[in-house]
Amino acid sequence: MILDEKKEFEWRPEDNVAEYYQQQVEMLEGFNEMDALAERGFIPGMSMEEREKVAKSETFAIRISNVANMVLFAAKVYASVKSGSLAIIASTLDSLLDLLSGFILWFTAFSMQTPNPYQYPIGKKRMQPLGILVFASVMATLGLQIILESVRTLSSDEADFSLTKEQERWVISIMLMVTLVKLLLMVYCRSFTNEIVKAYAQDHFFDVITNIIGLFAALLANYIEDWMDPVGAIILALYTIRTWSMTVLENVNSLVGRSAAPEFLQKLTYLCWNHHKAIRHIDTVRAYTFGSHYFVEVDIVLPADMPLQEAHDIGESLQEKLELLPEIERAFVHLDYEYSHKPEHAQAHY
């Protein structure tokens, strides 16, 4: 038996070979995509009508989520009044913050759709991760407040909890109804790729978990021990802090200018090298996060005796081609005649 387990966890070279070939296939697919962009001037994909349809669906998902949050919040307020459960009250406070966070996400989506080239010359793409960051920070703060209140209740022996049969019926009905609606909204919002809609999906999933834990904590406190209600609230709070802290870290990385993956840089290098036959060398290819999209910096080397007009046209067309990629917000192309100098915009180290 022990030998069988060792064989099961034994390192197998064929796994690494399969992973290597999978990486090669993905790299070739990326190169084919760049070839299509170079030949056709656009990336094969959705048409303008299809993109507009998807945008309308995303807007509908955001609106229906906001309406549902308002209705379900009112229902959970009633359940909180009926039960007096600290765990259900914590879940209701979470729904209150859902309304606040929903407004934040709606505002960021609206701001991104209304560009102002004079006040915001580089666009508003950073509004998206910033809105999600504020959203996540508020949720994590709520979790800390719930922990403090629950610990105070436990330490003061105030956990005296009981429900009548009528109260129990109302609480179970409302919480199950809220959980079912949130589950359906989560499945619907997860079908989108938009980061704001995905944030709503994460919020709906979080509500499903908190509603179930809150209901179980209230029922356990009613039938077994009173202290299970504040303990359930603490569990909800810890889950809140963990979930949204991870979201904060993820969006901080997108705001501080993190480098793109090597595979994406390979695609950009391939596109630049095959852009024009006059390109002698590619000095630098950088791509770093700027909100939810990338900024790209490219240094290409052209013949020293090339006329300015021709060199300008090569650089400008490469910039336009790079900015056709959906992941790229802006591209900067620097033209040079040699590549032995120090890197452009080198950071000083003190």
* DSSP secondary structure string for all residues of 263-274: HHHHHHHHHHHT
Candidates 275, 303, 302, 292; CA nearest to 327 is: 292
Fold of domain 48-255 = Alpha-lytic protease prodomain-like (1.20.1510)
Helix and strand numbers, DSSP H then E, in the chain? 10, 3
- Determine the residue type at 49: E
Q: Residue 350 pLDDT more than 50?
A: no
pLDDT at residue 111 tops 90: no
> Which DSSP string corresponds to 80-106?
HHHH--HHHHHHHHHHHHHHHHHHHHH
Q: Span 229-241, mean pLDDT?
A: 78
The enclosing H or E element of 149 equals: helix 127-155
Residue 181, SS3? Answer: helix
User: In terms of pLDDT, which residue wins out, 26 or 334?
Assistant: 334
Class of domain 262-336: alpha beta
The yes-or-no verdict on residue 261 having pLDDT over 80 is yes
Mean pLDDT of 225-253: 77
Q: How far apart (Å, rounded) are the C-alpha atoms in residues 133 and 182?
A: 22
CATH 1.20.1510.10 residue ranges of the chain are: 48-255
Residue 21 tokens read as: 């070939």
pLDDT for position 303: 93
- Residue 302 pLDDT greater than 90, yes or no: yes
> Which residue spans of the chain are classified as CATH 3.30.70.1350?
262-336
- What does the pLDDT read at residue 293? 81
Interstrand relation of 281-290 and 293-301 (parallel, antiparallel or unpaired): antiparallel
CA distance 266 to 202: 32
* Structure confidence at residue 197 (pLDDT): 80
Please list the residues that pair with 259 across neighbouring strands. Answer: 288
Q: Quick check: 298 and 333 in contact, CB under 8 A?
A: yes
Residue 85 near residue 162 (C-beta atoms within 8 A): no
Nearest CA to 219 among 154, 150, 169, 182? 169
Q: How confident is the model at residue 20 (pLDDT cuts 50, 70, 90)?
A: low
Task: Extract the tokens encoding 214.
Answer: 């809150």
**Lowest mean pLDDT across 245-259, 302-316, 335-349:** 335-349
Query: pLDDT over 70 for what percent of the chain?
Result: 71
Stated length of the chain: 350
In order, the DSSP letters of 188-250 are HHTT---HHHHHHHHHHHHHHHHHHHHHHHHHHHHHT-TTHHHHHHHHHHHHHHHHHHHHHHH
Q: Work out the average pLDDT over 234-239.
A: 79
The residues with which 299 forms a beta bridge, in sequence order, are 284, 334
Average pLDDT, the chain: 76
